[in-house]
Structures are given as structure tokens and as C-alpha cells.
Amino acid sequence: MPLPKRRFSSSRTRKKKAHKIFKMGQLSVCPQCKQPKLSHQVCPVCGYYKGKQVIEIAVKEKKKKQG
């Protein structure tokens, strides 16, 4: 198996890695709750996908301070 003749410099390595950034997917608006969500995904707020409820979302209750 061939080996490189010279070592890659750190600046050259960083230049190469500069283009490999993570890009966020397109956001769309949920027709049920009007919150932004990823396209083709179940809404994390209301649990609907294509007009049908797919998952049940439990509502978190706020804890009251005692004392």
C-alpha cells in the first residue's frame, strides 16, 4: 500500500477540513401548531405528521415552590 512522501502540514489539513461543515436541514412550519420543524419529520411539539397524530407528547407540568 502506498504511503505519502511528505507529511501534510497542519495548515493544509485545516484548509481541507474547512469545507466539511455541517449544514442544517430545511425548516418548515407545522400545519397543526405553527412551530418550525424539520421537513419530513414528526413535529416534536405536537407529534403530528401529515395531518395524523403519530406520537403522544406528554406535557411537562411546572413544579410549584414549597415553603
User: Is there a domain that residue 42 lies in?
Assistant: yes
Q: What is the spatial distance between Cα 56 and Cα 37, in angstroms, rounded to a whole number? A: 17
User: Is there a domain that residue 17 lies in?
Assistant: no
- pLDDT score for 67: 61
Q: What is the spatial distance between Cα 35 and Cα 28, in angstroms, rounded to a whole number? A: 8
User: Is there a domain that residue 63 lies in?
Assistant: no
Threshold 0.75, pTM exceeds:
no
CA distances from 12 to 17, 20, 21, 42, 60 (A): 9, 14, 16, 41, 49
Strand partners, 53: 48
- pLDDT score for 49: 93
Q: Which residue has the higher pLDDT, 11 or 24?
A: 11
pLDDT tens readout for residues 14-37: 999 988 887 878 899 999 999 999
Q: What is the spatial distance between Cα 67 and Cα 65, in angstroms, rounded to a whole number? A: 7
User: Is there a domain that residue 1 lies in?
Assistant: no
Strand partners, 52: 49
- What is the residue-averaged pLDDT of the chain? 87
User: Is there a domain that residue 38 lies in?
Assistant: yes
